[in-house]
């Protein structure tokens, strides 16, 4: 299966193999670059000599083994996965981001120089590199000044495995938001903070402050392992939940970038004391028994090219799907014995949400069962999966670079076969699991050690205003740690029972709903991404629009005389198709496709185990009632006992829903008879956008405008 080619040239030479993989070796090393097929089938061996990312990996009967070139060092890794095509001698195509990574000296340059100049923004290469450090360059579209160009600012994202945040770090983030950000904290769907509105001149101060207060942003964005999800419930008497937190830390350490650029950029090379790494993690990272590592590289797992795209991991316990386990590149499920001792992990691979409008070759995907590994092998198995994606994931077109496309192209059996070469063992059979359920962890609950925890609903994850002040007062008074949930909420941990009443009063005084049963069920399960005005990918509103959308949905349900507690469903909204709020798992998903316009997705399930499908390509926000009321009415009338909206939709199909909608007669709203008049579509779009920004209904805005016109004429 392998082909060898001696590489020579004046400075460096590049060759392309039949498989679309290019390898470069410096001429003075005269390294051999042996290239294996990226399309191995089940049962086909990787034994022999194969090359991955331009580095020679020598193996034998036991599969891949220690990597080495003829000089004992790797050649510069520049390989890419390209689409299947006829053999060619031309260099394989690489995306521009791959070139930027290669030339960056492990994420340092030109970022260091760009941060030091007086420009309000950084260059395009640095825009890509700063993601790895935990930041996105953004432009506040609502603060642009005519003739002055974009209003540049930066978003900083933290990284805390399992959502764990100690008291000191939370208060640090709270202070930074007020002094250098926009005065708010954003809780994300991956259990992290986002701090919006940071100016470039303040970036080093903000980042260094986080680092010096035992926080991190390294790898919160970029083509590396992102923040690892785990259930946020701080159960002290359930060992399986403790294992999810323990291994989220271990795997985060295993896959953290190692080359030191993070400290060079933000602390000018100064190292900050941190907790000692588990020796088990260090041993697993350094092990190269099966060709997973770049020998002698500052980045033994990632190399100069890092991963083809972002890599997302979640860990949970059987049955608890508070982390949307099937939406991740890699999902791990803790398996314990009857006494609660850890035995091993079930493994899922290939989940992911991102897609592109009107490009059917891009799609959301659910992760598939890969197998089971005992606890002592989990770090090696994770590393093997990451190495497989690193070496075979596409690097020519970033739309197709996620692991889900590799799994889809190969099939799960072939993916398992190739990964086992890096793992050095066969995966065991997947252990049977109970049915998944969604857990929100809201309200007061027993922690299991005599203390309580409080799950606090934070609508769409935005902590601001009086709620922000109240949370800070509670943490100042009681010195509590917190955890962030994967549903954008906050858990206050280690609360003594005597503190319950005063904490409740402090939060309720700020308008917080503390009792979970007092929350609207639509709010409990809904999520939205930030979208406008800061996200550069957004094409419409999400976070600012969803509260009003939920109110309108509740209004429809009230007119249909549907139960508030029993007739609920999962609603999610994003301002673009990239899927940060995981809308493709919702029973009713809104995916932005233009100004005040959304695709409608139906068919997810309450426990997040089924993908929704596109029901309607475009819906203007003013048409919400006309579009959604027939669906809910038909569900109300035709569903089976306890049949959720998503389950009903999947049973009857879209054609049936459309037929019903075509003949549906809307329920008349109560109140005095209304007079109708015509508003031009562009005016209506402007009013709708103003409604979202102002928090007023369309009726209020129209009434105010008409009244003002009458007053002016009088």
Does the pLDDT at position 13 exceed 50?
no
Residue 710, pLDDT > 80, answer: no
A 10 A CB-CB count for 311 gives 25
Where residue 19 falls among pLDDT bands split at 50, 70, 90?
very low
Instruction: Round to whole Å and give the CA distance between 61 and 154.
Output: 51
- How confident is the model over 79-99, as pLDDT tens digits? 444 444 444 455 678 999 999
Give the pLDDT band of residue 607 (cuts 50, 70, 90). Answer: very high
Tokens of 613: 């499908």
The CATH class that applies to domain 443-516 reads alpha beta
Which pLDDT tens digit goes with each residue over 525-582?
999 999 999 899 999 999 999 999 999 999 999 999 998 888 999 999 999 999 999 9
The mean pLDDT value for 11-23 works out to 29
Check: CB of residue 243 under 8 Å from CB of residue 316: no
Instruction: Note the pTM of the prediction, 2 decimals.
Output: 0.85
209: its two tokens: 């402050």
Sheet strands (E) in 280-340? 313-316, 330-336
Domain 96-423 shares a fold with domain 524-663? yes
DSSP secondary structure letters along 386-403: HHHHHHHSB-S-GGG-SH
Instruction: For the beta carbon of residue 309, count every other beta carbon within 10 angstroms.
Output: 25
Domain 96-423 superfamily per CATH: Sulfite Reductase Hemoprotein, domain 1 (3.30.413.10)
Q: Running DSSP on this structure, what letter comes out for residue 487?
A: T
Token reading at 19: 């498989």
Q: What is the pLDDT of residues 203-213, one digit of tens each?
A: 999 999 999 99
CA torsion sign for 654, 660, 663, 665 is negative
Q: Which CATH number fits domain 524-663: 3.30.110.40, 3.30.413.10, 3.90.1010.10, 3.40.50.20?
A: 3.30.413.10
DSSP states of 418-477: HHHHHHTSPPBPPPP-PPPB-----EEEE-SSS-EEEEE--GGGEE-HHHHHHHHHHHHH
At 271, is the pLDDT very low, low, confident or very high (cuts 50, 70, 90)? confident
Question: Domain ranges in the chain?
Answer: 96-423, 443-516, 524-663, 681-712
Q: Give the span between the Cα atoms of 353 and 404, in whole angstroms.
A: 9
């Amino acid at each position: 299966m392998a082909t060898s080619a001696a590489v020579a040239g004046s400075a460096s030479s590049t060759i392309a193999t039949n498989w679309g993989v290019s390898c470069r070796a410096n001429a003075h090393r005269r390294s051999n670059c042996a290239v294996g097929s990226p399309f191995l089938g089940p049962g086909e061996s990787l034994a022999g000599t194969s090359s991955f990312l331009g580095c020679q990996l020598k193996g034998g009967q036991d599969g891949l083994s220690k990597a080495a070139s003829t000089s004992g060092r790797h050649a510069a890794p520049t390989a890419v996965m390209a689409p299947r095509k006829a053999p060619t001698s031309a260099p394989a195509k690489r995306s521009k981001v791959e070139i930027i990574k290669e030339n960056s000296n492990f994420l340092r340059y030109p970022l260091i120089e760009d941060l030091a100049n007086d420009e309000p923004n950084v260059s395009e290469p640095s825009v890509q590199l700063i993601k790895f450090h935990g930041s996105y360059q953004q432009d506040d579209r609502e603060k642009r000044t005519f003739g002055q160009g974009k209003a540049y600012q930066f978003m900083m994202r933290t990284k805390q495995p399992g959502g764990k945040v100690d008291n000191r770090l939370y208060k640090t983030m709270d202070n930074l938001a007020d002094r250098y950000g926009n005065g708010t904290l954003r809780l994300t769907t991956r259990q992290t903070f986002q701090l919006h509105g940071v100016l470039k001149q303040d970036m080093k101060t903000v980042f260094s402050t986080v680092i010096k207060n035992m926080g991190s942003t390294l790898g919160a964005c970029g083509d590396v392992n992102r923040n690892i999800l785990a259930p946020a419930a701080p159960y002290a008497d359930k060992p399986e939940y403790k294992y999810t937190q323990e291994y989220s830390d271990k795997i985060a350490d295993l896959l953290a970038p190692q080359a030191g650029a993070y400290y060079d950029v933000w602390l000018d090379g100064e190292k900050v004391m941190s907790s000692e790494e588990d020796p088990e993690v260090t041993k697993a990272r350094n092990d190269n028994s099966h060709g997973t590592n770049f020998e002698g590289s500052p980045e033994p797992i990632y190399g100069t090219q890092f991963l083809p795209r972002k890599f997302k991991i979640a860990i949970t316990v059987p049955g608890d799907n508070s982390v949307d386990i099937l939406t991740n590149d890699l999902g791990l499920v803790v398996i314990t014995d009857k006494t609660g001792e850890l035995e091993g992990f079930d493994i899922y691979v290939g989940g992911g949400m991102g897609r592109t409008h009107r490009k059917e070759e891009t799609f959301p995907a659910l992760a598939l069962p890969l197998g089971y590994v005992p606890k002592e092998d989990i770090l090696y198995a994770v590393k093997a999966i990451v190495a497989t994606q690193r070496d075979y994931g596409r690097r020519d077109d970033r739309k197709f670079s996620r692991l889900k496309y590799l799994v889809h192209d190969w099939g799960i059996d072939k993916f398992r076969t190739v990964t086992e070469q890096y793992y050095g063992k066969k995966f065991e059979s997947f252990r049977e699991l109970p049915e998944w359920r969604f857990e929100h962890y809201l309200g007061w609950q027993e922690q299991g050690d005599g203390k309580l925890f409080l799950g606090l609903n934070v609508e769409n994850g935005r902590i601001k205003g009086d709620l922000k002040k109240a949370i800070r007062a509670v943490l100042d008074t009681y010195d509590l740690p917190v955890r962030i949930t994967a549903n954008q909420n906050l858990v206050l941990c280690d609360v003594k029972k005597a503190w319950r009443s005063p904490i409740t009063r402090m939060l309720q005084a700020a308008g917080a709903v503390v009792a979970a049963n007092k929350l609207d069920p639509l709010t409990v399960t809904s999520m939205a991404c930030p979208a406008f005005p800061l996200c550069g990918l957004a094409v419409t509103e999400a976070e600012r629009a969803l509260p009003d959308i939920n109110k309108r949905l509740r209004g429809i349900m009230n007119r249909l005389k549907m139960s508030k507690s029993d007739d609920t469903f999962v609603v999610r909204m994003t301002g673009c198709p990239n899927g940060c709020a995981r809308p493709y798992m919702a029973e009713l998903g809104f995916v932005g496709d233009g100004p005040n316009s959304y695709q409608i997705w139906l068919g997810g399930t309450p426990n997040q185990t089924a993908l929704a499908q596109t029901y309607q390509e475009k819906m203007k926000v003013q048409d919400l009632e006309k579009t959604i009321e027939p669906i809910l009415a038909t569900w109300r009338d035709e569903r089976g006992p306890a049949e959720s909206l998503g389950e009903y939709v999947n049973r009857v199909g879209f054609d049936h829903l459309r037929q019903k909608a075509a003949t549906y007669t809307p329920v008349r709203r109560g109140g005095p008879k209304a007079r109708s008049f015509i508003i031009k579509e562009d005016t209506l779009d402007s009013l709708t956008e103003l409604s979202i920004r102002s928090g007023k209904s369309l009726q209020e805005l129209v009434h105010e405008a008409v009244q003002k016109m009458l007053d002016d004429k009088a």
